[in-house]
Amino acid sequence: MAKLKISRDSLLPPMANFVLENGLAPASLRPLAKAAGTSDRMLIYHFGSKERLIEDLLEYIADIYADAIDQSFGGERVTTRQECLERVMAFTAKAEMQPFMALWWEIVAGATHNKPGYLEAGRSMIWLLLNWMKTQLPIDDPDPEGGARYLLTMIEGALMLRAVGCDEIARAGLGNADLGAA
């Protein structure tokens, strides 16, 4: 029964869990410490400041996000961009992805207010999704790079509209898209 050594690495997982469940707004030191089974005192000791803690935490969460994407690989290749769009929309709508979606808008808001670490975390998540999407496009797609960027733009727009209760607009919007090289 070796006592687990407490370190950044052992503290990050439960804190990431807390943030994915409750968002960043209530993620102050004492609730985070409670979730990790320590005290605010120790969080400062291990991370130096809340600011650096959050930076590390966002980075760690981006890694979790990467794993979640990796695990949803596989399944046979798709034959049209339309089909690909539907698959990605379905992926982002999965129940296990909802905590990330909820967190996502806080990250975007934080990035526009120049909170340290937010922009980096947001950007890395976008690039992950973009690269993953390229692997989802039809094999014979004439322009996977451009196609993926186009689809990603549409998808993010649709997700935002969904977030403010305008799903209908997004649905009509997606339906009206001529998806370039089909």
Chain positions contacting DNA, by CB under 7 A: 3, 6-7, 26, 28-31, 38-42, 44-46, 49-51
The residues in 139-168 that bind its own copies, with binding defined as CB under 8 A, are: 143, 145-147, 149-158, 160-161, 163-166
CB of 40 to DNA, least distance (A): 5
**Token pair belonging to 173:** 């919007």
Residue in the structure block whose two tokens are 């960027």:
149
Residues 6+ apart with CB under 8 A from 120: 55, 58, 59
**Token pair belonging to 54:** 């959050």
Tell me the C-alpha distance between 133 and 169, whole Å.
23
Tell me the C-alpha distance between 157 and 163, whole Å.
10
Instruction: Name the residue nearer to its own copies (CB basis): 57 or 170.
Output: 170
Instruction: Name the residue nearer to its own copies (CB basis): 10 or 82.
Output: 82
**169 phi and psi, to 5 degrees?**
-60, -45
Q: List the x/- string, 73-102, binding to its own copies by CB under 8 A.
A: ----------------------------xx
Tell me the C-alpha distance between 101 and 42, whole Å.
30
Q: Which residues bind its own copies (CB under 8 A)?
A: 23, 25, 101-102, 105-109, 111-113, 119, 122-123, 126-127, 130, 143, 145-147, 149-158, 160-161, 163-166, 169-170, 172-180
